[in-house]
Amino acid sequence: MKRKPKIPKTGFFWHVHHDELFEWCHNYDLRVEHILKKPSHEIKRRLRLFKPVQNVPRELKKLIKEFQNSGSNYAWWELEQWFKTYYPEMEALHKKECPRCPWNGKTLFPERTD
């Protein structure tokens, strides 16, 4: 009997935060716990859209591997600056992998006014 593939606990995920397109997620379960503490009317949307990136660009995978093998000699925020260079590619991918998404380039809650 085949086992259902498990959602990876770490990796690139769409919308780890409501104001980010994608990020490296260190701990999926921990992030879900945080989301469950958000305002109740936001939880459903956040959980629906917080999901693994299926087709992570090869260069991005390489970047993470190099970082992990380096013994983290450089800071995480430096790596995140590199992620930004992949934005155009990731935005195109996002359209395919994240249908019915209210993301407007800045937030998952474009209707929110605060």
The residues of the shown chain that bind Zn ion, judged by CB under 5 A, are 49, 98, 101, 103
Taking the least distance from each CB to Zn ion, the nearer of 18 and 60 is: 18
* Shortest CB 3 distance to Zn ion, Å: 28
CB closer to Zn ion, 4 vs 100: 100
For the CB of residue 42, give the shortest distance to Zn ion in the complex, in Å: 14
Least separation, in Å, of the C-beta of 76 and Zn ion?
23
CA–CA separation, 25 vs 14, rounded Å? 9
User: What's the distance, Cα to Cα, between the start and end of the chain in Å?
Assistant: 50
Task: Read off the amino acid at residue 94.
Answer: H
Give the closest residue to 45 by CA, choosing from 105, 7, 6, 100.
100
Q: Which is nearer to Zn ion, 67 or 97 (CB)?
A: 97
